[in-house]
Amino acid sequence: MSLFGTDGIRGVAGADLTPGLAAQVGRAAAVVHAGRVGPHPRFLIGRDTRLSGTMLEAALVAGITSGGGDVEVLGVMPTPAVASLVVRRQAHAGVVVSASHNPFADNGIKFFNGDGFKLSDDEEAEIIEHVTEHDLPSLTGGEIGRVSYAHSAAVSEYVDRLVERIPVDLVGLRVAVDCAHGAMFEAAALGLRQTGADLTVLFDKPDGLNINDGCGSTHMHALQQVVRDDGFDLGLAFDGDGDRVLAVDGHGELVDGDFVIAILAKHLKAKSLLRHETVVTTVMTNLGFHLAMRREGIEVVTTAVGDRYVLAEMLANDYLLGGEQSGHVIDLDVSTTGDGLATALLLLQALREMDVPLDEAATIMTRLPQCLLNVTVRDRKALDGAATVWQAVAMEEERLGDKGRILVRPSGTEPLVRVMCEAADAGDCEGVCLRLATVIEEELG
């Protein structure tokens, strides 16, 4: 049975992810943690704003307490806040009910360990084993776990720590913030107002159905229009659970995660704070980023797609900074996971200390044209042994030389092969992708 994907359990709430399954997972997690730390392991639970969140939260609480775990229910809380509070409140685990940037009908469950990091594959496998292979009877009497509730104090505790850790004076700066009607709708405004910025908050009225609906980091057009039309200095857009942020400069131009990481890396290196003068990104990072870091004398280490792989590389080699094009950025001096509010404060702090506007800071890199195609195949795993496909890839790479980059990889969840090309010329990108897509269709379609 496969429950956990690259970022926890996720599916349509009530269909794929039912209250019954959530209760089973909660009970299994309680039993696993009790086996490690003893009776009544302590859990924190937070959620985003989607309608199904309270249903799944209640099911998790029932499951965890029936398995002997104690639960502190935090209510609507950004994912990184749960990770932070697990450590600060010395809990044994954190649970977040969220499907991040997905539509409101979806939901998910992700866990953090007592150190604030997402669970390893082995830790997830142990929970799955208990869900699928063990009969876990509910406990009785004093063995049952206790439940307590906290919200406002928890939001303030998370925000105050970040503002103290990343001080910045933004008096005189006009900032527009898109909260995606999601989990950052309180915390982002609370934190950014403490900087003194002239703040306008958008999409901060969740109704359970409107999370990520035409807003947030996956729908940047609304924020871009507001910034452009109303003369803001910049804009910031969070995703549904608050672990990502993208920016918009004063001209309404998108500044994605590649640009944000490049700006932060350059600034940290100038302050001699970038450990090993290295950043960690994924294979999807734009070639323009790699060229920019080469000019700055910063090494780039790449991983598979997924923040967990970025984090694993960072921890294994003592790197400070890493992230993804999507705006999921990790600075290990500040957080143990991607944190949209921390990233926003770090970016604003860097801009203030460099004394430049965002559009000028973003000139550190030039995004090369990129083409992406998805090719439907019979068996995505057959790509590895498709010699004809890889011969075609090698020919295209030789044609591009050092002026472009090709990435061909199977989807992690669908019967697709993803083809990406970057090159100085947009026509070259499209031509490469189309030619390779044709070969893949002939061989694997």
Pick the catalytic residue: 52, 66, 98, 100? 100
Q: Look-up: residue for tokens 């934190």?
A: 191
In angstroms, the CA 332 to CA 149 distance is 29
Q: Which residues contact 277 (CB under 8 A, 6 or more apart)?
A: 269, 297, 298, 299
Terminal Cα distance for the chain, rounded: 27
**Are the C-beta atoms of residues 423 and 396 closer than 8 Å to each other?**
no
In angstroms, the CA 29 to CA 22 distance is 10
Residue 300 pairs in a beta bridge with 279
Q: Is 326 known to be catalytic?
A: no
In angstroms, the CA 241 to CA 211 distance is 9
In angstroms, the CA 218 to CA 264 distance is 22
DSSP 167-223: ----TT-EEEEE-TTSTTTTHHHHHHHTTT-EEEEES----SS-TTSS-STT-THHH
Q: CA nearest 275: which of 226, 204, 331?
A: 331
In angstroms, the CA 230 to CA 208 distance is 29
Residue 66 pairs in a beta bridge with none
Residue 199 pairs in a beta bridge with 175
Annotated catalytic residues are 100
